[in-house]
Amino acid sequence: MIIARLVLCVLCLMLVGCSDQKAKELFETAAFEENQGNVPHAKQLYQELVNLYPSTKVAEIARARLDDLDSRK
């Protein structure tokens, strides 16, 4: 289930064509960390992305990932 969500996020990211390469790279790293089970680091990276690139489409996806991860507590 987690892998399916990550794949969906990556596909969304590819479709939106994020103009900021650094934001995209940060998202990919966060998604990788999440997939590896390192949720605290993934959350940190998603939050960093939201803080640094708040108006990007990828930040919107990162916010959704944060909400999803926070709801699992």
Domain that holds residue 64: 2-71
- Neighbour count for residue 35 (Cβ, 10 Å): 14
Q: What does the pLDDT look like over 5-16, one tens digit per residue?
A: 777 777 666 655
Long-range contacts of 53-58 (CB under 8 A, 24+ apart): 53/20, 53/22, 53/23, 53/26, 56/18, 56/19, 56/20, 56/23, 57/13, 57/16, 57/18, 58/13, 58/16, 58/18, 58/20, 58/23, 58/24, 58/27
Q: What is the pTM of this model?
A: 0.75
In the chain, the percentage of residues whose pLDDT exceeds 90 is: 64
Domains of the chain: total? 1
Kindly indicate the confidence band of residue 37, based on its pLDDT and cuts at 50, 70 and 90: very high
pLDDT above 70 for 63: yes
Q: What is the pLDDT of residue 72?
A: 85
